[in-house]
Amino acid sequence: MIFLIFVMLAAERRSELGVARAIGVQRRHLVQTFVTEGMLYDVVAAALGLALGLLVSFAMVGFIGGLFNTVSGTVTGRPANIFEFRFNVATASLIIGYCLGVLFTFSSC
């Protein structure tokens, strides 16, 4: 999908690329421009994906914790917090996840 997005970006700019080549821009520079633009999209998308992933996992922990405690209260007949779920994130995990997101997305192109 990422590859198709880059192909569509290049196809939409066909006339712009032709004008750039006509005024003397080398092919290598055009490729570098697309790589830079792709890397910029990649870095921003990885940051948004990381933030969205944290938000979704926080919501899941809260939902599942509430669900387990509701079910345990229904089974025992009295409200009890048998299970305690805590949201915990390590800085190293965030860094590794972000870097892997950037690498996998950019390597697919």
Question: How confident is the prediction for the chain on average, in pLDDT?
Answer: 85
Q: Note the pLDDT tens digit of each residue in 69-102.
A: 787 767 666 666 777 788 899 999 999 999 998 9
How many whole angstroms separate alpha carbon 94 and alpha carbon 109? 23
Lowest pLDDT segment from 22-26, 47-51, 74-78, 95-99:
74-78
The rounded percent of the chain whose pLDDT value lies above 70 is 89
Half-sphere exposure of 29 (CA within 13 A, CB side): 7
Number of domains in the chain: 1
Contact 46, 25 (CB under 8 A): no
- Only one residue has tokens 């790589």, namely 35
Domain that holds residue 96: 2-107
Q: What is the pLDDT of residue 83?
A: 72
